[in-house]
Structure 1
Amino acid sequence: MKKWVILVFVAMLSLSACDVLQQASELQRLSLCEFELSGIHQLRLAGIALNNGSTRSGIPVGESITLAGAVFSRSLPLDFDLMVKVNNPNQGKASLNRMDYILSIDGKEVLSGNFQEKFMINGGSSAMMKIPVEMDLFKVLQNESGDALVNLAFNLVSGSGQPTEILLKVKPYIQVGSSQLPYPTYINLRRNL
């Protein structure tokens, strides 16, 4: 009976060790992946959808009134999806279970958070990761005028006016056993719009 218990215990340890080794090799593959900030999609300012090429003068009158009301009330919600392209040059799949991020716009840190979804990239392929972002521009950029904040939002989609630099710092994590292991440092992803 004791031999049977010992055999089952050894088998369980072996399976657990194999699983940990597999996840550790996924971490190594993840470290070789290339990350690129591809762009911003589905940007909404005060509930108004701004498409690529949108300008302040080009939005309908009703939306201009909505925008003016948001500026007057000093509540300017901005939400969009940051699109991060992940290229896996390895033979095997790479995955992450979580990713911490810090977003800066024109050198000002505006937001930090984490992406909590498991994300897998097959070997020899690329995949697009969508990171949803929500903020109130008046709260995160308190020293800016309403006009400057609206211009900033339009610059994110149109590229007109002053160039806008987006810096996204990301730190991926992988699940190994019951622990989450972080990538050693933040990865800086820059894009000028």
Structure 2
Amino acid sequence: MKNLLLACLIVVSLGSCGINKQAQQIKALEKCDYRLTDATNITIAGADVRKIIQGGATSSLNIPGLALGLLRKDIPLRAKLNLEITNPTSALAAINNFDYIVLINRQEVFNGSVDQSVSIGAGQTTLVPVQVNANIYQFLTDNKMVDEIGAFIGGATNGSEKKGLVTLKIRPSIKVGGGLVKYPGYITIDKEVSSKILL
């Protein structure tokens, strides 16, 4: 009986050590510096946004599939956001999984999760690709937002730089036993982006 009790205590203490270690790694993650370096492979309704911008055809009529997407209320956006994370602390910063929310000019555009372990050593920098797959129908039916996007894209095509605010919110999770426990809040990264990012 004593051996069983001792074995249970060892298992519980090892589990709590693992949780404490992960909590310290997430704490270090809070102190990291975040930078959205660029967005690549951006497609809307299957059309490559960079090619449309470089061709000077920014009208929504020039995006094949957009009209059909509006009728179906399903306009897929696919992109890869490259997030640079720098760890200025003396501790390892790590995360097992995270949920994210992306906002443009403080309006939520899409959300999702990344099931990828990320570790940033003390004093190190790493690039984390965030794959985005979202239905942006609701976003594109907001006339004010469509006008802001049009002006932003227009800045990329006509050389008059436009700026916008992109906010990335990350909610990390830690592994406890066989499941994930979500961090109680979000780590918020605000980034002013230039229309030049689209070129």
Tell me: CA distance 1:100–1:157, structure 2 relative to 1, closer, same or farther (3 Å): farther
In the TM superposition, 1:178-189 aligns within 5 A as 178=177, 179-182=180-183, 184-189=185-190
What is aligned with 1:38? Answer: 37
Shift of 1:53: 9.9
Shift of 1:40: 0.9
What is aligned with 1:128? Answer: 127
Q: What one-letter code is carried by the residue in structure 2 that aligns with 1:192?
A: V
Q: Is the 8 A contact 2:45 2:64 kept in 1?
A: no
CA-based RMSD of the aligned residues comes to: 3.6
> What's the % identity of the aligned pairs?
17
Where structure 2 has 5 or more consecutive residues not aligned to the other structure, the ranges are 195-199
Asked if 1:80 corresponds to 2:75, the answer is: no
Tell me: CA distance 1:68–1:176, structure 2 relative to 1, closer, same or farther (3 Å): closer
What is aligned with 2:88? Answer: 89
Q: Distance in 2 between matches of 1:125 and 1:114?
A: 24
Q: Distance in 2 between matches of 1:183 and 1:127?
A: 24
> Which SS does the other structure have where 2:89 is aligned?
coil
116-125 or 136-145, which moves further after superposition? 136-145
> Which SS does the other structure have where 1:102 is aligned?
strand
What is aligned with 2:118? Answer: 119
Q: What one-letter code is carried by the residue in structure 1 that aligns with 2:65?
A: A
What is aligned with 2:193? Answer: 192
118-127 or 89-98, which moves further after superposition? 89-98
Tell me: CA distance 1:7–1:135, structure 2 relative to 1, closer, same or farther (3 Å): closer
Q: Is the 8 A contact 1:110 1:141 kept in 2?
A: no
TM-score by length of 1: 0.73
Q: Distance in 1 between matches of 2:115 and 2:155?
A: 25
**Larger-Rg structure:** 1
What per-residue deviation string (whole Å, max 9, x for no partner) do you get for residues 76-127 of structure 1?
A: 5332111111111233321112323222224432223332322222222111
In the TM superposition, 1:29-178 aligns within 5 A as 29-51=28-50, 54-57=53-56, 67-75=62-70, 76-144=75-143, 151=150, 154=153, 160=159, 163-175=162-174, 177-178=176-177
Q: Distance in 1 between matches of 2:156 and 2:120?
A: 28
State how many pairs are aligned.
187
Q: Distance in 2 between matches of 1:156 and 1:134?
A: 25
What is aligned with 2:13? Answer: 14
Q: Is the 8 A contact 1:96 1:172 kept in 2?
A: no
Q: What one-letter code is carried by the residue in structure 2 that aligns with 1:73?
A: L
TM-score by length of 2: 0.72
Tell me: CA distance 1:171–1:11, structure 2 relative to 1, closer, same or farther (3 Å): same
Q: Distance in 1 between matches of 2:158 and 2:111?
A: 24
